[in-house]
Amino acid sequence: MVPVKKDFVENMFSVKGKVALVTGATGALGSVLSKAYGYAGAKVFMTGRNEKKLQALEEEFKAEGIDCAYAVADPADEEQVDKMVKACVAQYGEVNILAVTHGYNKPQNILEQSVADWQYIMDADCKSVYVVCKYVAQQMVDQGKGGKIVVCTSQRSKRGMAGYTGYCTSKGGADLMVSSMACDLTAKYGINVNSICPTVFRSDLTEWMFDPESAVYQNFLKREPIGRLAEPDDFVGYTLFLSSDASNFITGANCDCSGGYLTC
């Protein structure tokens, strides 16, 4: 007999009824993933530092029937993260999925960038990932039901770039942290930890790169076999997959979703 169950196959991509906590929810990727989790039937707890934007998202999502709530928190502040996780649990009783989508960059040549600015990037993109994952993982362990952690890093974790000594270092550290967390958390506690490594995707900060007549855009396309830059919703499928039972045997992976950028 083939040892596969019909019920598993029919429901393996489902996150319906799960509680998904999303950091950076007011950003281009975080807002899209928050809504995607909601459309997929999850209860969505959004976090970020801008309460006005969080309120607007909550109103928009609830108008579409999405069960959601939010808390204002700086992901690099341990005390605020602790309160954020407790607020999620108070609202929904548990946390089943964590999607880490926040980030920061200030490109500068190493000779021009101050140590303080470099450290800020490291705190925003690496330390904050550690803090958020640590507190959410502890909550998942206490629940005793396992969980899924998905961290958005970057293809820059695998490639250096002029002016990116802070960003590349922080994202590379985050990817290696993901692999190490998997060693800590998966076998013993059933918590899968993976990262997605996207290329440039459209946001308020990157919109200028999307001019098809610009040299920047043309240069990117020389190394993009897929033939275009990314939109935030290009990462919905991968994130939902890593948040569902379909990815139960995947952990510690830094998943390329760069449109082929890393292959050229």
- Residue among 175, 240, 191 nearest 44 (CA): 240
CB 107, CB 121: distance < 8 Å: no
The string of DSSP codes covering 222-235 is TT-TTSS-B-GGGG
List the structure tokens of 156: 């820059």
How many other C-beta atoms can be found within 10 angstroms of the C-beta atom of residue 86?
Answer: 13
Among the listed residues 135, 167, 238, 261, the single catalytic one is: 167
Q: From CA 37, how far away is CA 41, in angstroms rounded?
A: 6
- Cα distances (Å, whole numbers) of residue 70 to 20, 44, 47, 100, 245: 11, 8, 6, 15, 26
The DSSP call for residue 258 is: S
Q: From CA 160, how far away is CA 165, in angstroms rounded?
A: 8
Dihedral of alpha carbons 217, 218, 220, 226, sign: positive
- Cα distances (Å, whole numbers) of residue 177 to 62, 151, 238: 35, 10, 20
3-state secondary structure of 43: strand
- Catalytic residue at 167? yes
Q: Which residues are catalytic?
A: 167
